[in-house]
């Protein structure tokens, strides 16, 4: 026997609404008891909400960006009678918070220095330190966060109760602390009275993760000090550190990889750092060459107040544009580009395509010129495998790949995406045409998965459907080459005796000059030209 169970938001403290920043499951997924299903986040803390039962999700009632409160319906699950909870509305017991006399979080010593201690964080014996946000010698403001603590389900930041200079740090990442433990010793910036932090006592036998979330949000609401503005072009500044928002699972993942979250750009909702952001950060660090620390660093672009010259409008970049922009910028800075230009005679190829277009349509596929270009590229890569390789981490070896996965740039309403067609060498023209049409449609619908965008060995960017001739495509690292295709046009070509009309296709091959020299680049481009001029050669 099975029954449907409503999964609802448990007690998350005395707050009306908390935003959903991650939905960790989908309809049809099987979930276990206590498996996390959504992540909530306030301005200062994040927590994951688990499923109270094991079963199969039949319906999701929430989405990323929604705001929920205690009792709101998250999902409906189908469970066996043996696994079903006693009540369909699952709520965690709310700890009763009672006020007691305030207890100072910073205690002045006889030397005039101030001890900064851990305030009340609920009825927990020990909570782990996952980030230390300051160093000895740093100047801190009152209410500036100095460490980040994390329980199994939530993270919270502990602020300094005084403004001053950090003279000594008593804790480190990985240590566990409890209420009253000394975090640091600071020299107060003034003779003002020591700030006292209100302390709450959780009267229940064991505080929940929701209590930590509630205290973290209360601390922010009661703080009178304004947040410092994020300093431009200073990703390592203290204010930038404070903007590192991530769920507990992502923080744990980052710690396992040794990644400092303050150095990672967030692509999630409100700049939240996702697991993919951490993975991409690690990949960039692995592939990035040593950066000069002297005067050769790239200077920032001057900041201009455009409002002085007329009316303006600020339009936020889309998520895909932000991600691809960072990647393209890194590729352009790290790869010495050379672009080889040529024109291919595709008169016979286009005639062959038109002759078979109707037959392909009967099989439900659109036989486009791009399919033939992909096969010609693979034939050329087999002859010149260096263009199907990648540089090793230490830039001392070439990683030669014995597979041919071609990335194809697709123009979508949300920005440029490059889904990857796997094993192009093993597929025929019609099979490729069908797969290309299907993955391009999913790209435009925003339905691509991470797997669809990974594993490419060579990329093609075709602007033929829009217009233009030659251009300089940017190599899609860690690949070492990319083909740009312009719009074909009929033009007179001298055959030795006379001019005759030929359909010419502009080609632009960009490559990493550390791997491909000019001679090899020219040979590859010339061979690709020959393959396109007689597409039957790809069968040899």
Q: Mean pLDDT in the chain?
A: 80
pLDDT at 111 over 70: no
Residue of 335, 114, 152, 359 whose CA lies nearest to 248: 152
Span 290-317, pLDDT tens digits = 554 444 567 788 888 888 899 999 898 8
Tokens of 369: 């010129």
| Cα distance between residue 106 and residue 320, in whole Å | 45
My answer on whether 104 and 74 are in the same domain is no
pLDDT at 104 over 80: no
Per-residue pLDDT, 247? 74
pLDDT of residue 237 exceeding 80:
no
pLDDT the model gives residue 73: 92
Q: Is 80 exceeded by the pLDDT of residue 35?
A: yes
Average pLDDT over residues 239-253: 64
CB distance 498 to 327 below 8 Å: no
- Position 506 scores a pLDDT of 96
Work out the percent of the chain whose per-residue pLDDT is above 90.
38
Does residue 382 have a pLDDT over 90? yes
What pLDDT does residue 221 have?
42
Q: Does residue 41 carry a pLDDT above 70?
A: yes
**CATH number of domain containing 258:** 4.10.320.10
Residues 339 and 408 placed together within one structural domain of the fold: yes
- The residue ranking higher by pLDDT, 199 or 329, is 329
Predicted model pTM? 0.49
- Both 489 and 359 in a single domain? yes
Is 245 noted as a catalytic residue in this protein? no
**Helices H / strands E in the chain, number of each:** 9, 30
pLDDT tens for 50-75 read: 888 889 999 999 998 888 888 889 99
In the predicted model, is pLDDT for residue 509 greater than 90? yes
In a domain, 178, yes or no: yes
Measure the CA–CA gap between 307 and 304, rounded to whole angstroms.
9
The answer as to whether 294 is a domain residue is no
How many distinct structural domains can be found in the chain? 4
pLDDT of residue 189 exceeding 60: yes
Going by C-beta distance under 8 Å and a sequence separation of 6 or more, which residues neighbour residue 9?
49, 68, 69, 70, 71, 72, 74
Q: Say whether both 503 and 380 belong to one domain.
A: yes
Report the DSSP pairing between strands 145-150 and 127-132.
Answer: antiparallel
Pair 39, 145 in one domain: no
Full domain range(s) for residue 34: 2-80
488 or 294: whose pLDDT is higher?
A: 488
Cβ atoms < 10 Å from Cβ of 276: 13
Please report whether residue 299 resides in a domain. Answer: no
Averaged pLDDT, 3-24:
82
Are 189 and 264 members of one domain? no
Q: By percentage, how much of the chain surpasses pLDDT 70?
A: 79
Name the residue among 508, 511, 522, 518 with its Cα closest to residue 475. Answer: 511
CB contact set of 289 (below 8 Å; sequence gap of 6+): 334, 395
What is the per-residue pLDDT for 383? 96
Q: Where a domain ends, among 80, 111, 145? A: 80
Question: How would you class 498 by CB atoms within 10 Å of its CB: exposed for 0-12, middle for 13-18, buried for 19 or more?
Answer: exposed
Q: What is the rounded CA–CA span in Å between residue 377 and residue 406?
A: 9
For residues 39 and 131, membership in a common domain is answered with no
Q: Sort residue 230 into left (φ over 0), alpha (ψ -120 to 50) or beta.
A: beta
**Contacts (Cβ under 8 Å, ≥6 apart) of 366:** 360, 433, 437
Q: What's the pLDDT score for residue 297? A: 65
Per-residue pLDDT at 157 = 80
Q: Could you tell me the pLDDT band of residue 503, with boundaries at 50, 70 and 90?
A: very high
pLDDT at 435 over 90: yes
CA separation, residue 340 to residues 28, 336, 512, 523, 534 (Å): 50, 13, 11, 10, 21
Predicted local distance difference test score (pLDDT) of residue 113: 86
Q: Is residue 321 part of a domain?
A: no
Task: Kindly state whether residues 485 and 424 are assigned to the same domain.
Answer: yes
- Mark which of 20, 45, 80 sits at the end of a domain: 80
| Residue 306 placed within a domain | no
Pair of tokens at residue 56: 């199969």
Residue 330 lies in a domain: no
Same domain, 435 and 460: yes
Active-site choice (327, 337, 513, 530): 513
Give the residue, 12 or 142, on which the prediction is more confident. 142
Per-residue pLDDT at 390 exceeds 90? yes
Comparison of pLDDT for 202 and 293, the residue scoring more: 293
pLDDT of residue 65: 85
**Bigger pLDDT: 336 or 9?**
336
d(CA 524, CA 540): 17
pLDDT recorded at residue 21: 83
What are the residues whose beta carbons fall under 8 Å from the beta carbon of 503, sequence distance 6 or more? 345, 346, 347, 350, 488, 489, 490
Q: Judge whether residue 186 has pLDDT over 70.
A: yes
Residue 483 has pLDDT above 80, yes or no: yes
User: Which residue, of 27, 45, 80, is where some domain finishes?
Assistant: 80
Specify the pLDDT at position 421. Answer: 96
Structure token digits, residue 414: 């949300």
Beta bridge partners of 347: none
66 lies in the same domain as 127: no
The stretch 428-438 carries a mean pLDDT of 94
Q: What are phi and psi of 5, to 5 degrees?
A: -120, 135
For residue 404, being part of any structural domain is answered with: yes
pLDDT value for 283: 84
* Residue 9 falls inside a structural domain: yes
Q: What is the CATH number of the domain that holds 527?
A: 3.30.559.10
Q: Tell me, what CATH number does 73's domain have?
A: 2.40.50.100
Confidence of residue 85 (pLDDT cuts 50, 70, 90): low
Please tell me whether residues 413 and 532 are part of one structural domain.
yes
Show the tokens assigned to 186: 């600071």
For the segment 513-538, the average pLDDT, to the nearest whole number, is 94
pLDDT surpasses 90 at 213? no
pLDDT at 365: 93
Residues 111 and 20 placed together within one structural domain of the fold: no
């Amino acid at each position: 026997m099975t029954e449907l169970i409503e999964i609802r938001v448990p007690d998350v403290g005395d707050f009306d609404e908390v935003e959903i920043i991650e939905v960790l499951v989908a309809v049809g997924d099987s979930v276990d008891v206590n498996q996390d299903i959504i992540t909530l986040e306030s301005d200062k803390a994040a927590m994951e909400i688990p499923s109270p039962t094991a079963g199969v999700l039949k319906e999701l009632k929430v989405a990323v960006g929604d705001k929920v409160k205690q009792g709101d319906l998250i999902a409906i699950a189908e469970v066996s009678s043996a696994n079903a909870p006693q009540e369909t509305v699952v709520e965690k017991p709310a700890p009763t918070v009672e006020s007691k006399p305030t207890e100072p979080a910073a205690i002045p010593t006889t030397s005039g220095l101030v001890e900064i201690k851990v305030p009340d964080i609920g009825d927990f014996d020990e909570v782990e330190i996952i980030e230390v946000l300051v160093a000895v010698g740093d100047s801190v403001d009152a209410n500036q966060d100095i460490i980040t603590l994390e329980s199994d389900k939530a993270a919270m930041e502990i602020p300094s109760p005084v403004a001053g200079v950090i003279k000594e740090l008593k804790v480190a990442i990985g240590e566990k602390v409890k209420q009253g433990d000394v975090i640091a010793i600071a020299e107060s910036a003034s003779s003002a009275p020591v700030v006292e932090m209100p302390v709450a006592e959780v009267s229940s036998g064991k505080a929940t993760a929701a209590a930590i979330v509630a205290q973290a949000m209360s601390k922010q609401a009661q703080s009178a000090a304004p947040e410092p503005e994020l300093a431009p072009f200073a990703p390592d500044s203290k204010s930038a550190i404070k903007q590192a928002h991530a769920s507990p699972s992502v923080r744990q993942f980052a710690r396992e990889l040794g990644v400092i979250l303050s150095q990672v750009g967030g692509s999630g909702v409100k700049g939240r750092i996702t697991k993919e952001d951490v993975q991409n950060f690690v990949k960039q660090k692995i592939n990035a060459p040593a950066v000069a620390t002297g005067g050769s660093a790239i200077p920032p672009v001057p900041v201009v107040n455009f409002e002085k010259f007329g009316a303006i409008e600020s339009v936020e970049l889309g998520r895909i544009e932000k991600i691809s922009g960072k990647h393209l910028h890194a590729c352009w800075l790290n790869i010495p580009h050379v672009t080889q230009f040529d024109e291919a005679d595709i008169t016979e190829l286009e005639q062959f395509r038109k002759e078979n277009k109707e037959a392909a349509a009967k099989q439900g596929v659109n036989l486009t010129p791009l399919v033939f270009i992909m096969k010609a590229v693979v034939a050329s890569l087999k002859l010149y495998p260096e263009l199907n390789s990648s540089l090793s981490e230490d830039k001392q070896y070439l990683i030669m790949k014995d597979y041919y996965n071609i990335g194809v740039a697709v123009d979508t309403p949300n920005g440029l995406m490059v889904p990857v067609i796997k094993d192009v060498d093993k597929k025929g023209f019609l099979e490729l045409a069908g797969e290309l049409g299907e993955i391009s449609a999913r790209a435009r619908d925003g339905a691509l998965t991470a797997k669809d965008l990974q594993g490419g060995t060579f990329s093609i960017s075709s602007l033929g459907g829009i217009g233009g001739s030659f251009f300089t495509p940017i190599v899609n690292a860690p690949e070492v080459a990319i083909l740009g295709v312009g719009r074909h046009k009929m033009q007179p070509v001298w055959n030795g005796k006379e001019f005759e009309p030929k359909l010419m296709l502009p080609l632009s091959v960009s490559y990493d000059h550390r791997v491909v020299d000019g001679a090899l680049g020219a040979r590859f481009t010339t061979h690709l030209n020959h393959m396109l001029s007689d597409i039957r050669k790809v069968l040899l």
